[in-house]
Amino acid sequence: MNDLRLALACVLTLAAAPVAFAQDTQRLRTDKVEVIVETVARNLQNPWGLAFLPDNRMLVTERSGRLRIVDTEGKLSEPIKGLPDISVRGQGGLLDVALDPNFAQNRLIYLSFAEDRGEGRNGTSVARARLSQDGAALEDTRVIFRQEPSYAGTHHFGSRLNFDRDGNLFVTLGERNDLRDQAQSLSNHLGKIVRIRPTGGAAPGNPFLNREDARAEIWSLGHRNIQSAALHPTTGELWTVEHGARGGDEVNIPQKGRNYGWPVISYGVHYSGQKIGEGTRKPGLEQPIYYWDPSIGPSGMAFYTGDKFPAWRGSILVGALAGKLVSRLEISGNRVTGEERMLQNLGERIRDVRQGPDGLIYLLTDSRQGRILRMRPAG
């Protein structure tokens, strides 16, 4: 009788297991490896950016204007105090977060955000601050960069933050949608990648430092709305993925002073179906190394360099909002040689992708009940 009861209990346990499994964990098959996707933390309001602290805790931004620390057990801290004033409208709010290369010594962090500029106008700004020893507040918060001009709109703020190997900061900036033609002008920061010193101001070696008709912070121009950026682990070059319109999401390796074409050339069309600009090519304008048509809505990217997924080493992992997936791009040199689309069964808008210190993959889901997900090999 006891054996029968034990057997029955085991059957009931196995029958009940898929319910809990489906809520918190999913086992999914990819081309090269079977993976477990598990929930690390939940109840984040539209999480946008993630950075790992030296003790493996995570700094996570919420577009609604909150910055939190998430511990290794998934517990959320209270919102950190001392943030700059943030304009939360449309696609704007608190965006990316990056640690200073010397964070372990100086505890400096950098935040990109939509800033209210008065009279209904706003723009992407970058602030620098020191994280207090207890992690509860930001100290000495100071805005070190403001996108100019400001604009009374709610779209296309960018914005990812990446330090280069010289310690200067790349900031990707949207063209604010309605002002798309300004992406071709050197007199403003719209539709540009800028490169600034960690204290603010144009970085040494920028291509337009000595031109009176150009903004000295500009690194490259002709971009639409870049929400994915990462340094190549070998070359140190900046790679980006930017939103197209209806089609034409692009992978680029932005070189200093180069023009990447928006809105003169594109592989997409306007949402109305009308043609964009002059076609797909024009002399003097750069071609993407890869593009999507139809769009996947790219946001967040990481080069995979860890040892937990050896078959993925060297790949780029790109989150997708509209596509609700993770795109794994295989690369050879400066060419994309293949694509695998993963995790469609999750049904989640993926806002950011990061490789953790443990070699696992961490994802942010874009919803009002957003989660941090962790992807690990099955078994």
Element (H, E) at 34: strand 34-44
Give me the catalytic one of 156, 189, 223, 243: 156
Annotation says 270 is catalytic: no
The answer for residues whose C-beta is within 8 angstroms of residue 194's C-beta and 6 or more apart is 145, 170, 171, 173, 215, 217, 218, 219
Phi, psi (deg, nearest 5) at residue 10: -65, -40
Q: How far apart are CA 259 and CA 371, in angstroms?
A: 37
User: What distance lies between CA 169 and its chain's CA centroid?
Assistant: 15
For residues 158 and 87, give the distance between their C-alpha atoms in angstroms, rounded to a whole number: 14
| Residue tagged 């959320």 (tokens) | 76
Report d(CA 96, CA 114) in Å as an integer: 11
Residue 225 carries which DSSP code?
A: -
Tokens of 243: 């939103």
CB count, 10 Å around CB of 347?
9
- In contact, 183 and 191? CB cutoff 8 Å: yes
Contact 328, 319 (CB under 8 A): no
Contact criterion met (CB below 8 Å) for 76 and 122: no
**Contact indicator for 95, 158 with CB cutoff of 8 Å:** yes
List beta partners, residue 301: 318
Catalytic residues: 156
